[in-house]
Amino acid sequence: MDHLHEQEAFAKLVDRIGPHHAGKRMEMQAHYSAFLMHGHHFHVHLEEFAPISWALKTLLKITGVWPIAVRNSLRYTVVEHEVPLPHLPAAFEGFRILHLSDLHIEGMVDKGKSLAEALAPLQYDLCVLTGDYRFRTFGNYDKTLTLMKTLTEQIHAPYGISGVLGNHDWLEMVPGLEQCGIRMLMNEAQPIEKGNETIWLLGLDDVHYYETGDLDKAVKSAPQNVVRILLVHSPEILPEAAQAGMDLYLCGHSHGGQICLPGGKPIITHCRCPRPYKAGRWRYKSMRGYTSRGVGTSLFPIRLFCQPEIILHTLRKIPIEVETACCYSQSV
């Protein structure tokens, strides 16, 4: 996109999401960049704090673990996840959703080649992307968009690709991501129609760092008595989402820890929610959810005891018992 078209596309986006949302996002992005430029790295993201990064890299290289951990970052696991939804319209029985999260695509050692190869044999109806397209949290994103274009050309979803922003992504990336064929949901709702029946996708802006996600706004954009699937970058608003009657909550952000202890126990997740919701499938009251371990990496292109995962959610019209999760409290 040339500069003039970029400006026009961004002005249309501001019109669409409203000046308040756009203004808050841009202001926080500016503060964040200024914060980094003044050397306040540690309080923002661990990956921007050079001494810790250097120490970790040195330790892994000295111990010989580094090349194994780099290889792990490309060893994609395909996870099949069946989602029981009692009110699922009959036309959507067996509907398959490919879920990719935390691509951090220009940080991949092979720039997405192995991921595209892993995706090639898979069959799905819709693809959803739950944020973090860029590797770093600031700076130029041209390479991110170029690589996303190459990847999305290899995703063949009859019902399209929909996505939300993560905390590594900037608002200015939205027009470019939409040019890649991704329908970006910015506190918006999208109907998915099959036969004469419809389910709805709701997607929020980042709730982790920028806090510009607006669940109420998205909820008001869709009918109430329908199956609603919520896309959010992180699992941090699951009580609110359950309260709002969401049926399925798809997210990522935690990377499942990325560098874990044997057995997959995460050391750090940067996720303000209890451990059971930080990776994999979960249930909160009657809402089902899945927190992706992600396909990419942050800080370094390495993974230990935590493989990158491609998830295929299959919707099933099966009743689920309503159960209150015992392990959630806001303070954990």
- Site residues for Fe ion per CB under 5 A: 102, 132
Q: In the complex with Fe ion, which residue's Cβ is closer, 185 or 315?
A: 185
Nearer to Fe ion, 102 or 205 (CB): 102
- If one counts every other C-beta atom within 10 angstroms of the C-beta of residue 44, the result is 15
**What does DSSP assign to residue 114?**
H
Strands 260-261 and 126-129: unpaired
Residue with smaller CB distance to Fe ion, 48 or 132: 132
Tell me how far, at minimum, the Cβ of 131 lies from Fe ion, in Å. Answer: 7
- Considering beta carbons, is residue 102 or 125 the nearer one to Fe ion? 102
Min dist. Cβ of residue 43 to Fe ion (A): 18
Helices 19-37 & 3-17 angle (0-180, nearest 10) = 120
For the bound state, the minimum distance from the C-beta of residue 104 to Fe ion, rounded and expressed in Å, comes to 6
Nearer to Fe ion, 85 or 259 (CB): 259
Q: For the CB of residue 100, give the shortest distance to Fe ion in the complex, in Å.
A: 12
Residue closer to Fe ion (CB basis): 231 or 242:
231
Q: How far is the CB of 82 from Fe ion (least distance, A)?
A: 26
Q: Nearer Cβ to Fe ion, position 25 or 270?
A: 270
Please state, in angstroms and as integers, the Cα–Cα distance from residue 185 to each residue in 87, 124, 188, 215, 308, following that order.
Answer: 24, 20, 5, 12, 24
Adjacency order of strands within the sheet including 188-194: 188-194, 197-203, 228-231, 248-251, 287-291, 280-284
Q: Residue 247 Cβ, how far from Fe ion at the closest point, in Å?
A: 25
Nearer to Fe ion by Cβ, of 125 and 132: the residue is 132
Q: Which tokens in the block code for residue 249? A: 């909550």
C-alpha pair distances (Å), 137 with each of 50, 132, 290: 14, 9, 24
Tell me how far, at minimum, the Cβ of 23 lies from Fe ion, in Å. Answer: 25
Least distance from Fe ion to the Cβ atom of residue 168, Å: 6
